[in-house]
Every structure is written in structure tokens, then in C-alpha cells.
Structure 1
Amino acid sequence: MTTPHADLVAGEPRSVLREALAHMSTHRHDDGSLELVGEVPPELSDPLVRALETVADELRAEDERRGVRPRSGGHLHADALIALLLRVTDTGEADQP
């Protein structure tokens, strides 16, 4: 049976994205910077990359709609990752009766 569209995040199955993100961790450096590290298997990394690209495209489009300079490079990628993390973890259960 097909997964309901409500279980998709940025066009990819929420469960696949959660599993992909579970392969990642952070490493704090002495200078205070934070590094995201991990080895995500190809069957999980492909959907993750597609979802990140979708979110990045949405962020750029929103910037253009608002008339501001569109994000790019590391700023865009960092914002897309955070936005995707928030979407993946937002199950909408708070909105349920």
C-alpha cells in the first residue's frame, strides 16, 4: 500500500529521512565551531540530498518573493538543513484533537 502524502517531507518519506539523519552526529571543536559528520548509506543519502535540494529551492524562492537577496552557498545549505530537520521532526501531533 502507498504511504499517505502526509508522511512525505519535501517529497521524501519521513521515515527514510529520519533514518538518514540518525546516521549523522555533531562534533564540537575547541574554537566553538560545530561540525556535522556521518556516513549515510546511498539508499538513504539520495532521498536526503533530494529533500535538502527541494527545501533549498523553496528557501531561495521565498527570498525572491520577499524581494530580498536569495541565500546561497553555506548559508543556504545550513538553513535548508535546519528547515528540513524541523519538518522531519514536526509530526503535527500537537494539532490533533
Structure 2
Amino acid sequence: MMDIYITEEAAEKLGNKLTDGKHIKLYYDTEGCGCGVNGIPLLWITGEVAPDDVKIETNAMPVYVEKSHMLFYADKLTISASGANYYRLSSPGEILNGRMNVVIRP
């Protein structure tokens, strides 16, 4: 099972964006990347949860991940703040996205 840790600073910044029943989704964006195995992780703030989204309980707040995209991630992930408006997604072995955007979705 996937284990996601959110640093205190990242949790505070993300928590400020969670209004009106919104959720955090770790989304694997493949648009414009050539094929389905090439993509970049993004954070979505969204009010909708898809039927195939898996709810991952973290130390700070739940994060949803599309079940079919879980294979692109390590079992242990960390979301940390990276500058004023970005986040970093890392695993023990690599940085998956050092300047991860937050996309506000309906």
C-alpha cells in the first residue's frame, strides 16, 4: 500500500486551499508527454472523486490517487513545500517532481 507523508509546511499551505469540500488528488498528467508511461505528477484541488480513485490516509490529510496510476509511484512518498507556490514530490530514491504545481479543479 502507498504511504504518503506531508511535511508540516506543505500541510499548512495545502490545508488553506481545501475549502468547500475540496480534496487533494495526486494526478499523473500524461497530456503532451508522448505516451501513457511518460508523465508528470501534479496536485489537484478538486471537489470530485472518481470511482477508481483510492483514498490514501496521510499524517495530515487524505490524498486521492487514481488506482491505475499508482504503479508510477514508489510505495513511500513525501510531499513538501518547494518555494512560495510549488511542492516537491519525492521518494526515498528520487525526486519525482521538484516544482509540482497545484491545479484548482471544479
TM-score by length of 2: 0.25
Q: Which has the higher contact order (CA 8 A, sep 6+)?
A: 2
> Higher strand share goes to which structure?
2
Instruction: Name the structure with the higher helix share.
Output: 1
Q: Give the TM-score normalised by the residue count of structure 1.
A: 0.26
